[in-house]
Structure 1
Amino acid sequence: MEKRIAIIGGGIVGATAAYYLSILPGSEQTKVTLFDDGTGQATTAAAGIISPWLSKRRNQRWYRLAKAGAALFPELMRRAQLGTDVYQQTGTIVTREVPTDLETLVDLAYERRQSAPTMGQIETLSAAEVQQRVPLLTAPQPGVFISGGARVDGAALVQGLLAQATAKNLTIRRERVRFTADGQVVTSMGPRHFDRVIVAVGAWLKEVVAPLGVVAAVRPQKGQLIELNVKDYPLQENMPVVMPEGERDFVPFGHGKLIVGATHEDDGKFDLAVDPAVTADLLASAQRLMHGVTADNITAVRVGTRAYTPDFAPFFGPIPEHEAILAASGLGSSGLTTGPEIGRLLAGSALYGGTPDWSEYELPLTTYLTSSAE
């Protein structure tokens, strides 16, 4: 008997879930429909860094999830046959200006590698050695190099995964949908019943689940980054990503493209307008490490909306009292790292059912999803 699954939201979680629902055993008996109107999606505005191992966050559940997400990426890219324009392990360099701070960071790297061999090689670099690896920088700081770190183009990743799934069992509908009180999905063609629904709408989760009598503890945050056209060095596509202390992240792509960002603007919420003052701030960050860059080098500004929870932790799984509906949100700025693993887990749950135990990755969903009657 054919199983009908809906996915609401086509960002990193929704796209990855759709991909796995097209390749997992039993997918040949599954029909998947993805609904997304494309407004404000964080993933399509993102150019991310896959390097969670030196994070200062103390949330061990988040760290285990992020570590699993980073480990999944190489396998996912091979299986989906996506190229280096989407994802590439170029390594990451995390800098520190104070020598003792750098020593502490290096010690942490070796400690974390004991449980995360995918970190790869660890090297301490002088400022000159950092500049040698990333000649775009004219005012570098010393840092630690992690060879397993990578860069990923969020928009290209989503497009690649959805294209693969569409070739098998996925239909994409470019529209906004809502729920009825009993969990049916109201589309432009009227209410429709699905055996399972995955809701991956990020910061819009609160309004989407409200008709179900559910309150979601999720808030929006605006994020902006800039694309710069810079000197095209030989082998620039292999340059490490740089996470400078006190400045925005630098993500070099090939052919003279450099991404700088992103911002974390709580006041921006769902505003998707480019803010010239923020653009200037991002450019100033680039100029402090790269001499000679001007506003003329800016080729694009990307804007998206992230989702955050009160404790800055993601959550995912069946909505309490609505077990056929699975939700994910609260990924924040680590969405490109944690999203694929969350999407994979939700796809398996939607396809096979059961009550998986994901407590190693998250607190109980009742921490974030409560009844509006309470």
Structure 2
Amino acid sequence: MQKQVTIIGSGIVGAVTAYYLSSDPTLNVTIYDEGIGQATKNSAGIISPWLSKRRNQRWYNLAKSGAALYPEIVADTQMGYSVYQQAGTIVTRENPDDLQALYDLAVARKQQAPQIGQIEKLTAEQVQDRIPLLTNPQPGVFVSGGARVDGDKFAHNLLKYCEKRNLVRHKGKVALGDQGQLLTPHGQQNYDTLILAVGAWLKPLLLPMKIVADVRPQKGQLIELQLPESWGDDVPVLMPEGERDFIPFTRSKLVVGATHENDMGYDLQVSDLVEADLFASGRKLDANLTKDQITQVKVGTRAYTRDFAPFFGPLPDNPHILVASGLGSSGLTTGPMIGKLLAEYVQTGRHDWDDYALSVDHYLSPAE
């Protein structure tokens, strides 16, 4: 008899979890998606964790493992260049000593993460050669393993692929009862395992169960521009010092962003001031940008914890309900590995995740 696995949330974690579970003939997999303010759909899409100076080793283990999963998943599902391109990443530093330190960090980390690929220290002129759009380049470090991903397309294509195997999708808002009952637009639904991959919405979702999640929402906005010139698939992503990320997607789409806005709650309104700030940041890198090239402003809500680390796993008093949240601005990088680990737990009941995250006990507390 098939076991019923239900996933709430179709972002990066939900989609990748469904990908690994939908190949299991012993499971019946269902996913629900409200789709409002989803961080995955509104992310800049940079996959390049190796040069981060964050000292949280668990986060780094998750991030480098998640980055390594993309080529495997993309190849298996035959996604095209419009979704994922491994064109490399350039991180700039103006100070020569800082640039050398960044290069040395990349070389050291390659020992444990060969996916970082080729490493080069570039002059400002060489950076401009790699990204011809730039009119104000800085020297930087290039890593060939860096990539960009359209999170919206990636999750959408992955779920379409899963539907051909063993996945049923539903739209609509769901809620939990005080005992963890799943309440949907079609009434109460039974499950053997429930996976809550709802990002910043985990806190309100768990409150009926008298559980408070240490999750706060953070607003993120970015702008997309359509430029008159076109470029190939090999133009790297730029992570410039002191400015917003600068992501040339395939052909002529440019993304600038995203912001990190605290204390905004679940506000999904576009801010004219933020749009102007993003455009000004882009103009510092490419003085030829014009406002009429902006095609849209995307707004999403990320989930953050007090220590800025993600958490995931079964509820302490209910192993049949799994949660995942707190991915922050690196969700597209850490999300794939979290999804894979959750799927392995569903299939085997085992989890040894000390290398990746603290226990969920650190992020959940009883409601007063």
Deviation at 1:343, TM superposition (A): 0.8
The answer for the alignment partner of 1:296 in structure 2 is 292
The whole-number CA distance in structure 2 between the counterparts of 1:246 and 1:128 is: 19
Which of 241, 244, 247 matches 1:245?
241
Q: Which amino acid aligns with 1:221?
A: Q
The answer for the alignment partner of 2:356 in structure 1 is 361
SS at match of 1:5: strand
| Deviations 1:301-346 (CA, angstroms, capped at 9, x unpaired) | 1000000000000000001101100000000000000101111111
Q: Which amino acid aligns with 1:33?
A: T
Structure 2 unaligned regions, length at least 5? none
Deviation at 1:231, TM superposition (A): 3.8
Which of 250, 253, 256 matches 1:257?
253
Using structure 1 for the length normalisation, give the TM-score: 0.96
Deviation at 1:351, TM superposition (A): 2.9
The whole-number CA distance in structure 2 between the counterparts of 1:222 and 1:278 is: 11
Deviation at 1:268, TM superposition (A): 2.2
Percent of aligned pairs with the same amino acid: 57
The answer for the alignment partner of 1:34 in structure 2 is 31
The whole-number CA distance in structure 2 between the counterparts of 1:181 and 1:351 is: 26
Corresponding position: 1:64 with 2:61: yes
Question: What does 1:177-256 correspond to in 2, within 5 Å?
Answer: 177-235=174-232, 237-256=233-252
Equivalent pair of 2:44/2:256 in contact (CA under 8 Å): no
The whole-number CA distance in structure 1 between the counterparts of 2:291 and 2:265 is: 26
Using structure 2 for the length normalisation, give the TM-score: 0.98
The answer for the alignment partner of 2:115 in structure 1 is 118
| Deviations 1:152-198 (CA, angstroms, capped at 9, x unpaired) | 00000011110011112111111111112222201122212100001
Equivalent pair of 1:136/1:231 in contact (CA under 8 Å): no
SS at match of 2:132: coil
| Deviations 1:36-64 (CA, angstroms, capped at 9, x unpaired) | 11111010112311100010111011011
Which of 303, 309, 325 matches 2:305?
309
Equivalent pair of 2:312/2:359 in contact (CA under 8 Å): no
Which of 75, 79, 83 matches 1:78?
75
Kindly report structure 1 stretches of 4+ aligned residues shifted beyond 4 Å.
none
Q: Which amino acid aligns with 1:351?
A: Q
| Deviations 1:94-123 (CA, angstroms, capped at 9, x unpaired) | 000111110111111111111111101000
Deviation at 1:9, TM superposition (A): 0.7
The whole-number CA distance in structure 2 between the counterparts of 1:289 and 1:189 is: 51
The answer for the alignment partner of 1:346 in structure 2 is 342
SS at match of 2:288: coil
Corresponding position: 1:104 with 2:101: yes
Equivalent pair of 1:9/1:35 in contact (CA under 8 Å): yes
The whole-number CA distance in structure 2 between the counterparts of 1:84 and 1:345 is: 27
Q: Which amino acid aligns with 2:21?
A: L
The answer for the alignment partner of 1:143 in structure 2 is 140
Q: Identify the range of structure 1 (152-161 vs 186-195) with the bigger mean alpha-carbon deviation.
A: 186-195
Q: Which amino acid aligns with 1:8?
A: I
The whole-number CA distance in structure 2 between the counterparts of 1:269 and 1:249 is: 24
The answer for the alignment partner of 1:331 in structure 2 is 327
Deviation at 1:6, TM superposition (A): 0.5
Deviation at 1:255, TM superposition (A): 2.4
Equivalent pair of 1:312/1:330 in contact (CA under 8 Å): yes
Deviation at 1:71, TM superposition (A): 1.1
Equivalent pair of 1:91/1:146 in contact (CA under 8 Å): yes
Question: What does 1:171-182 correspond to in 2, within 5 Å?
Answer: 171-182=168-179
Corresponding position: 1:268 with 2:267: no
The whole-number CA distance in structure 2 between the counterparts of 1:233 and 1:126 is: 24
RMSD (Å), alpha carbons: 1.1
Equivalent pair of 2:81/2:250 in contact (CA under 8 Å): no
SS at match of 1:323: strand
The whole-number CA distance in structure 1 between the counterparts of 2:338 and 2:80 is: 22
Question: What does 1:275-286 correspond to in 2, within 5 Å?
Answer: 275-286=271-282
The whole-number CA distance in structure 1 between the counterparts of 2:37 and 2:134 is: 32
The whole-number CA distance in structure 2 between the counterparts of 1:285 and 1:5 is: 44
Structure 1 unaligned regions, length at least 5? none
SS at match of 1:211: helix
Q: Which amino acid aligns with 1:248?
A: R
Question: What does 1:86-101 correspond to in 2, within 5 Å?
Answer: 86-101=83-98
| Deviations 1:123-168 (CA, angstroms, capped at 9, x unpaired) | 0100000000000001000000000000000000011110011112
Q: Tell me the number of residue pairs that the alignment of Structure 1 and Structure 2 aligns.
A: 368
Q: Which amino acid aligns with 1:307?
A: A
Deviation at 1:224, TM superposition (A): 0.3
